[in-house]
Amino acid sequence: MNRKPRIAVVLLLALAILLSAAACSTSIALRTLVPAEVNVSGYKTIAVQSTAYNYSPSDLWWRYFFIPIRGNVEERYINDLTKFSLFDASTSRNVAKYASENLVKAIDKGYFDIKSPNLTDSLITVGKSLGTVRQTFMDNGVDALLTSNISYMNYDEFIESEPVYSKETPNTVVGYRFYLNQSATISLTYSVIDVENNVIIGNDTLTRSCGPFRTLIGHTNDAKEFVSDRNYFELRHASDIFDDLIDGFVDDITRKLTPHYVTSYFGLMDNKPKVKSLEIAYDYVKSENYRTALDLFVAEYNRSGHVAAGYNAAILYYTLGQYEEAFSMAKDVYEKSGNSQALDLYYRLKDVREKQEAARDQMNSTTKNPSSSGELIGF
């Protein structure tokens, strides 16, 4: 008898059980505040300078002008495949402008008073004319300056053909498909400068790449004539590709520079050993009736020392903002049962609370604490 089908059935049943268990598990999502990785305490007003770029059209655009055609493409298709480069004279400038907008988006979380790139650039111009940019910023209430530049930018594009072979005679070419290939890489370097103390309090370089990816732009018909699948204006411009890459920087910059909210998930402990009277408590949690669920879990824990009831009560205490009760409950469950999950919960809840307090300290402090290792700059 072939045992493979039986083994396959057993594996499928096991997978179904696991998925069912995962689907039935109950968890609570807590939106909690965490501090910026850079100590931004005392910095309330940030000026965002326009992103600089060092790539002139001659760096990339004039290198191509037309999209290169690579490989063995028959001469009769060249005219149909000749297209202007999707990286043009405005690409670098547009990408830098989009980067400036995204820097503002990344730090505009209700904590900083932000001076826009246009206003910041004007202040720099005025400051240079007066001979002191730094004093101009201080006179206008700026605590920190966020500078940035496109430190690396590369884009590649080319068109190639791919033969289509006969199904009857596999080695016979009956036509072609034509593809546009595109890939890009960009690096954004930024620094946050403490204006009063003239030091860099945070900096980083972020890099993202995409591609190569292919877009079908044409094929040949039965008569081996070129048939277009996309017109030029349906193709992705290089600016759009770079913009998508820059979008990926936003979360990194937010995490680095701004107190922000994150979502943490706390899974309830299963009702084991099963207590029938607790089943409704889990239902109350699913319907977000946390207070009623908490009362049921606490009552059962006090009555029987049921580990899951105490564990879940600790989570619900924290969810309802009763932090000390949450810590006390998790600690009590561990000390009485020796359950390691309760100890892990205790430390996890403590960590979440400490980060929240650190974030609020950053938001409420009026004292700047620039790092002693900050690099002196001159402006």
Pair of tokens at residue 276: 């029938």
Three-state SS at 290: helix
User: Tens digits of per-residue pLDDT, 339-353?
Assistant: 999 999 999 999 999
| AA identity, residue 347 | Y
Of 196, 152, 180, 163, nearest in space to 44 by CA: 196
pTM of the model: 0.79
User: Tens digits of per-residue pLDDT, 39-58?
Assistant: 888 999 999 999 999 765 44
β-bridge pairing 173-194 and 199-220: antiparallel
- The maximal CA–CA distance of the chain, rounded, in angstroms, is 93
Q: How confident is the model at residue 143 (pLDDT cuts 50, 70, 90)?
A: very high
Nearest-angstrom CA–CA distance, 212 and 154: 12
- Average pLDDT for residues 93-100, to the nearest whole number? 96
Phi/psi of residue 195, each to 5°? -65, -50
User: Tens digits of per-residue pLDDT, 111-138?
Assistant: 899 999 999 999 999 999 998 999 999 9
Between the CA atoms of 116, 117, 118 and 122, what dihedral angle is there, to the nearest 10 degrees? 100
Three-state SS at 154: strand
Place of tokens 């089943």: 279
Asked whether the predicted pLDDT for residue 11 surpasses 90, the reply is no
- What domains can be seen in the chain, in order of their start residue? 45-261 (3.30.160), 264-379 (1.25.40.10)
Pair of tokens at residue 183: 């890939």
What DSSP line would sit under 343-378, residue for residue?
HHHHHHHHHHHHHHHHHHHHHH-------TTPPB--
User: Tens digits of per-residue pLDDT, 285-294?
Assistant: 999 999 999 9
What lies within 8 Å, CB to CB, of 14 at 6+ separation is none
Q: What is the CA radius of gyration of the chain?
A: 30
Sign of the C-alpha dihedral computed for residues 207, 210, 212 and 215 taken in this order: negative
- What pLDDT is recorded for position 33? 93
Sign of the C-alpha dihedral computed for residues 139, 142, 144 and 148 taken in this order: negative
- What pLDDT is recorded for position 89? 81
User: Tens digits of per-residue pLDDT, 360-377?
Assistant: 999 888 777 766 445 556
